[in-house]
Amino acid sequence: MNNKILELQHIKREFVMGTEIVRALKGVTFDVHAGEFITIMGSSGSGKTTLLNILGCLDKPTDGEYLLDNVNVSGLSRNELARLRNHKIGFVFQAYNLLPRTSALENVELPLFYNPELTAKQRKDKALGALESVKLADRGDHTPSQLSGGQQQRVAIARALVNQPVMILADEATGNLDTRTSYEIMALMQDLNQLEGKTIVFVTHEPDIAAFSSRTVMLRDGKVVKDSKNENVRSAKEALEALPPADDY
Ligand SMILES: Nc1ncnc2c1ncn2[C@@H]1O[C@H](COP(=O)(O)OP(=O)(O)OP(=O)(O)O)[C@@H](O)[C@H]1O
Ligand SMILES: [Mg+2]
């Protein structure tokens, strides 16, 4: 059986800017197996977000082949892509992207409105379940401004999980968070990966965040320059315990 969930072959993405062509991805090739937890690293402008947007079917490559769960996405219509994305992929962004005047529970419910078969009660129950899994069931009534940054990110993760996707794509999801809160998010990611078998592709600038994943793909200037297994995956729970108590800083 082929358990490759992502297959990228010679992926290129070019943006036309007036008379200039920006070559953001210059032939990226790698596979991700189901159940892997990989980080994508690289300096600013190296193509990480461009790549993640293609992986998440938010954007299409200019050239090359992309198979998502053995389906060649280049042949799919816009509607088919949206369906695939909604069923298989949960997104988490650096800026949380929650609706401001909307409760945590309703924010988590949003992706479920694309499924006409669900009743209002079923939507609510699913959203509550997802909030429980990020330990925020008691904050369902709070709007984003009534939550800390880490809690907002956990709501965003609950929203990403509510459709039970097989894969989570995260773009600098700890970029706005302090060390402790970042480690809490990484502990949640490790649980989702290890206990629930979710495949995770996590973009980050920070080597100490990459240490929590089992493989790192390094981009430079639109190309993969390194793709290495991490033999000593760090436990985010242990890293949390090793931090000084919160009051000390
Ligand atoms: N829509 C676009 N139109 C034109 N150029 C773009 C577009 N999106 C990205 N680029 C260019 O492609 C290159 C890669 O951008 P990308 O956003 O993927 O980088 P990144 O690795 O995510 O950087 P950062 O770490 O700063 O988020 C950059 O040179 C950028 O200017
Ligand atoms: Mg980026």
Q: What is the pLDDT of residues 141-177, one digit of tens each?
A: 999 999 999 999 999 999 999 999 999 999 999 999 9
| pLDDT > 70? residue 247 | no
- Ligand 2 centroid–CA 197 distance in Å is 26
Token pair recorded at residue 109:
């419910």
- Which domains occur in the chain, in start order? 35-60+78-242 (3.40.50.300)
- pLDDT, mean of residues 166-189: 94
- Averaged pLDDT score across all residues of the chain: 94
CB-count exposure of residue 151 (10 Å: 0-12, 13-18, 19+): buried
pLDDT of residue 78: 86
| Closest atom of ligand 1 relative to the 43 alpha carbon | 25
| Percent of the residues in the chain that have a pLDDT greater than 90, as a whole number | 88
The CA–CA distances, whole Å, from 29 to 10, 175, 223 equal 5, 26, 9
List the residue whose alpha carbon is closest to atom 6 of ligand 1: 15
pLDDT of residue 131: 96
- Ligand 1 centroid–CA 45 distance in Å is 5
- pLDDT tens per residue, range 77-122: 888 888 888 889 999 999 999 999 999 999 999 999 888 899 999 9
pLDDT of residue 37: 98
Q: How confident is the model at residue 238 (pLDDT cuts 50, 70, 90)?
A: very high
CA separation for the pair 6, 85 (Å, rounded): 13
pLDDT of residue 142: 98
Q: How do beta strands 199-203 and 37-41 pair?
A: parallel
CB-count exposure of residue 216 (10 Å: 0-12, 13-18, 19+): buried
pLDDT of residue 245: 80
With the most atoms of ligand 1 within 8 angstroms of its CB, the residue from 11, 12, 15 to mutate is 15
